[in-house]
Amino acid sequence: MNSQAFELARQARDPRFDGRFYIGVKTTGIYCRPVCRVRLPKPENVMFFASAAAAGMAGFRPCLRCRPESAPGTPAWSGTSATVTRGLKLIAAGELDQAGVVALSDRLGVTSRHLRRLFVAHLGVTPVAIAQTRRLQAAATLLAQTTLSVTQVAQMAGYGSVRRLNAHVQKVYGRTPSSLRRGSEKSPARGFTLRLGYRPPFDFAGVLNFLSVRGIPGVEWVSPSSYGRSILVDGQPGSFTVSNDAENHVLVCHIELADPAGLMRVRARIKALFDLDADPLEINQCLTKDPLLAAFVAENPGQRVPGGWDPFEIAVRAIVGQQISVKGATTVMGRIAQQYGRLVNQTQFFPSPAELEILDPIDLPMPRGRAAAIQMLAAKVASGEIDFDRFSDSQSLIDTLVRIKGIGGWTARYVSMRAINDPDAFLHDDLVLVRIARQQLGLADGQALLECSRNWQPWRAYAGMHLWRQASKM
């Protein structure tokens, strides 16, 4: 986007652009979201930034009214380096809180100098600047939306000490951390309630429907207006429930944990599960260039690609779902959870890799080879040989998975789509997609669908969801 487009979005306070850019106001030294309700400054008094980190590096302070830390996350822009995208996810998970850029670059398979060069080229700021902004935003979120002590906030946001948090907040805001929570809405006495922003349009009902038919009995529960599930965080049981506040473009998440230290990790996983960082405007502009898809996109411009709570759980689901119906796979997943997972206070928890690597393939209601593939996957994840966070790109994950006997290309691409949120994963050999492509797009087979899908890059996962949606109407 150019400056003129930014200015039009600013004037309209268009929520579709929330988090896509930030506005620095020269006369106040403050930066805001495009949706900020303050009186609009004159065009000559504003500057535009691609990220909150860039605005902060330029010396602007976050606005205490629109709260930039509440904006939807940075979308995976077309053309952004895969290494940068993966690096952003690792930084969001706190990778730079304990280790340095060298350790991060090692995980991504590049030198620290090259990683810094990539970040500056694509985002305009360094990995360290991104990490510093993430810590500040995490602290501001916790201060504004919870009653956690400042000491707890400092630890959970990655500062390590109250002194460091105080110094950073004082430098950026010119005030103390405790002053940031004045007038803020707090979580209830039991558990935590966090509000997660998204860019409209957002097909929340469609995500609920997708998760409902795949929900693991006893582990997940879905109503017409909410989704919930049991979770294990650092081995401790917990749960969360998510509903939609469509008027304010936020999901309301009630989270219950034995230890609040895992709260921000749960928050990050919920964002991935509901695909909250997606940019519908960018995605739809790409997909509607192809007349074959334009009508489908117009029917549902808020399409999302649901992720998963746990990559391992999604991978097991993908293996179970080979060559059987969605309903049948859901039944089998329920049996696996009941047979191998924990039951705490009448709540079922899905088994960990360590709990599944000891299974006997003969005990699962599926072909022996498929059950053996689950056991082998569990063993590799339990030993650390497979770490879903360490893959620098989706192809390396796919290549690793298909080396396990019993896991094919369809299964690996499904895992890539939902477990690591690859926006370009495409299941061209999916029987349902091939049928829709033949009936409604006039394409002969899966190979023809794959060739056609090149027009939809880098958002083929969304195209696939649109095609699946058509199948549900037939």
Cis peptide before 200 (omega within 30 of 0): no
Residue 430 annotated as catalytic: yes
Structure tokens at 42: 């004159």
Tokens representing 236 are 């401790």
Is there a contact between 49 and 21 (Cβ–Cβ < 8 Å)?
yes
72 closest CA partner among 199, 210, 244, 227: 199
DSSP secondary structure string for all residues of 104-136: HHHHHTS-HHHHHHHHHHHHSS-HHHHHHHHHH
- How many C-beta neighbours within 10 Å does residue 56 have? 24
Helix (H) or strand (E) holding 252: strand 250-256
CA angle 21–26–27, rounded 5-degree value: 135
The Cα-based distances of 22 to 79, 81, 321, 438 in angstroms read: 20, 22, 43, 44
Set 18, 279, 393, 430: catalytic member: 430
Active site residue 253: no
**266, 257 in Cβ contact below 8 A?**
yes
* Residues 95, 113: Cα–Cα separation, whole Å: 17
Choose, from 18, 32, 253, 424, the residue flagged as catalytic: 32
Distances, alpha carbon 11 to alpha carbons 49, 197, 309, 353, in Å: 16, 20, 38, 51
Q: What is the DSSP letter of 161?
A: S
Question: How many helices and strands, by DSSP H and E, does the chain display?
Answer: 22, 11
Rounded to whole angstroms, how far apart are CA atoms 32 and 47?
10
Whole-Å CA distances, 438 to 208, 303, 467: 28, 22, 11
Determine how β-strand 30-32 pairs with β-strand 61-62: parallel
Q: What angle do CA 132, 137, 140 make, to 5 degrees?
A: 130
Compute how many other C-beta atoms are within 10 angstroms of the C-beta atom of residue 462.
Answer: 25
| Locus of tokens 């606005």 | 63
- Residues tagged active-site: 32, 430
